[in-house]
Amino acid sequence: MIYGYETPPRPFLRTAFDSIYHRSVLLPPSLVGTTPIDSVLSLGISDTHGNPLFGSPGQYDLMYSATDTLEPNFAGLLLRVALRPDVGARLIVGGLPPSRLPMLLALLLVMAILLAIALVQLRREQELARLRTDFVSGVSHELRTPLAQIRWFSELLHMGKLRSEEERTRSAGIIDQEARRLTYLVENVLNFSRSERRQSRISPVPSDFEKELRETLELFAPLARSRQMKLRAELELGVVAMVDRDALRQIMLNLLDNAAKFGPPGQTITVGSTRTGGSVRIWIDDEGPGVAPADRTRAWEPYVRLARDAERGTGGSGIGLAVVRELVEMHGGRCAMEASPGGGVRVVVTLPATEAAVAGESPA
């Protein structure tokens, strides 16, 4: 009976390694293509004493070669491999890196988004710069006109060129009304500046609306007369509201000036007020060209001048209505524009009301 046999390992190992050498994928196909393996890679195996057990047909330069010991299962055999020099120069250690296309596309997308944001920001900055330039130009023009009138009539009075008492009285009246106008403009700029810095403050107190509005109409009357315009009041009596009196005066003067500026000479400006539920409603009607529905929201924005104003060459700083909206909202109210029953535009301001005062009793 035969239990086994002993044979030299050389023939067996040569056959095994030859099979591995020719049938296994030892190099990336992208590197060798269809070239036979023995023309690009040399392989040599020897025992621990350096006796060769297997060698591939070709042996290449040591420039691209390596020697290592096989696993213990192979009795510590030594393995030597070498690449043909021109093939070794194309070999990428670690294999080909993963595709960078997704990362490049992501970077391109981020760059495109940042570029779009930068262009939008640049356009906004340019628009803001233009609006500020228009604002400075408008304010300068608005201030220059009353200052020129004040200076001209002051010089006439100072030089004694006005001979009659009537002329002197008229000149003093013009100086007074232009000084008032100048005061309104400066207060507008100051209020707008404070609102931009979030420094506006109001001190509401119970106020008789009819009294406050009539006093404001009296303040504006000289300017209305200088433009041959009439003021008509339709004010409900006994209406009391919590308002800052200086702020209410500024609101009304801005709205009256706006109505006078954009209305025709000789028009009648109507100011009305009434209490509705828990609110006080104020309206100002003019007889001007009106405001298109699409522009009635934009008109309250700072620096905005409507196309109709530019076409007519009407001056203005572009902040009057913005100041009105800011002061009204600080009172917890709201403002809007609508068509006036008699043509033109109606500006409506709604403010919170308090309990009506007792008949004959004035607010403290």
Structural domains in the chain plus CATH codes: 9-88 (no CATH), 102-193 (1.10.287.130), 204-352 (3.30.565.10)
Sort residue 262 into left (φ over 0), alpha (ψ -120 to 50) or beta.
alpha
Q: Answer yes or no: pTM beyond 0.75.
A: no
Residue in the block written with tokens 């100011």: 271
Segments of the chain scoring below 70 in pLDDT: 1-10, 12-13, 59-64, 73-75, 88-99, 131, 134-135, 137-142, 145, 192, 194-200, 307-317, 355-364
H or E element in which residue 359 lies = none
Separation between Cα atoms, residue 39 and residue 199, nearest integer Å: 86
Q: Return the closest-CA partner of residue 227 out of 269, 169, 164.
A: 269
- How far is Cα of residue 19 from the mean position of the Cα atoms in its chain? 72
Q: Starting from the edge strand earliest in sequence, which strands make up the sheet with 52-55, in order?
A: 52-55, 41-46, 78-83, 65-69
Query: What is the secondary structure of 240-272 as a DSSP string?
Result: EEEE-HHHHHHHHHHHHHHHHHHSPTT-EEEEE
- How far is Cα of residue 255 from the mean position of the Cα atoms in its chain? 29
pLDDT at 284: 94
pLDDT at 311: 58
pLDDT at 196: 61
Helices and strands: H and E segment counts in the chain: 9, 11
Separation between Cα atoms, residue 143 and residue 183, nearest integer Å: 10
